[in-house]
Amino acid sequence: KAGVTQTPRYLIKTRGQQVTLSCSPISGHRSVSWYQQTPGQGLQFLFEYFSETQRNKGNFPGRFSGRQFSNSRSEMNVSTLELGDSALYLCASSPLQGASEQYFGPGTRLTVT
């Protein structure tokens, strides 16, 4: 089975812009979770989608949003980018809703200048 794929792999944006990241889960997986990884804060949970519905949300501002399509693919959007949004954004898929057995993609490296 193909693993989790994320596009693009690298992205450079300017403060104030918005960005959309894409994630394709492992075939058959219906849960997609998003994480932000930074050297200072480590891995932090953003939100989880299951069957096109957001099931769980972390402590991030409303500028961070997402959605999931009927084929389980997911997108994450960040509006009004700030310098502090520079990070590796990871997507993980799971066959089940919730936090168990997650399989991560390679991530999208976002740099905000």
Minimum Å distance from CB 48 to other proteins?
7
Cα 58-84-31 angle, rounded to 5 deg: 30
72 versus 93: smaller Cβ distance to other proteins? 93
Minimum Å distance from CB 91 to other proteins?
8
Residue whose tokens read 């994320």: 6
Minimum Å distance from CB 15 to other proteins?
26
Interacting residue ranges for other proteins, rule: CB under 8 A: 4, 42-45, 48, 55-56, 90, 92, 97-107
79 versus 88: smaller Cβ distance to other proteins? 88
CA distances from 112 to 15, 25, 40, 59, 101 (A): 6, 26, 16, 21, 31
What tokens were used for 57?
A: 């949300």
